[in-house]
Amino acid sequence: MNNFMGMLSNEFAPTECSTKFSVLVSMPIVTCPGKRSGKVAPEITDKGYCSTKSMYYYGMKLHALGFCNPNKLPHPEQIIFSAASENDFALFKAAWSEKENRTFFGDKIYNYTSFSYRYEG
């Protein structure tokens, strides 16, 4: 399914999209507030913390990588779902750090100087 999604997103990407610049974003998918015990889909959800919203929650995360598209929303390149407790930077290293000739833009969690030099294009 991932290869199919990748093929579709690349094939239908607008011509003005840049393949050298990408946007990283993640967001929580909350199934239950952190004060309660999560009962919805416990086999794929767990407890996590969203620093942007300053809250604990049960659920999962959606991570998206998108091609920059000037003056428009980024065009999705890849979407990954992970456990709520998984660190965003760890997922980035595992899934997207090997992409060559790419500059990534994202939250400050992705700003690690030991990785920065590899992505400057």
Total domains, the chain: 1
- For 66-100, what is each residue's pLDDT tens digit? 988 888 888 888 899 999 999 888 888 888 888 88
Q: Can you tell me the mean pLDDT for 17-45?
A: 86
- For 40-68, what is each residue's pLDDT tens digit? 888 888 999 988 888 999 999 999 999 88
The reported pTM is 0.76
**Residue 11 — left, alpha, or beta (φ > 0 → left; ψ -120 to 50 → alpha)?**
alpha
Question: Residue 91 belongs to what domain range?
Answer: 2-119
Asked if residue 3 has pLDDT above 70, the reply is no
Contacts of 55 (CB under 8 A, 6+ apart): 33, 34, 49
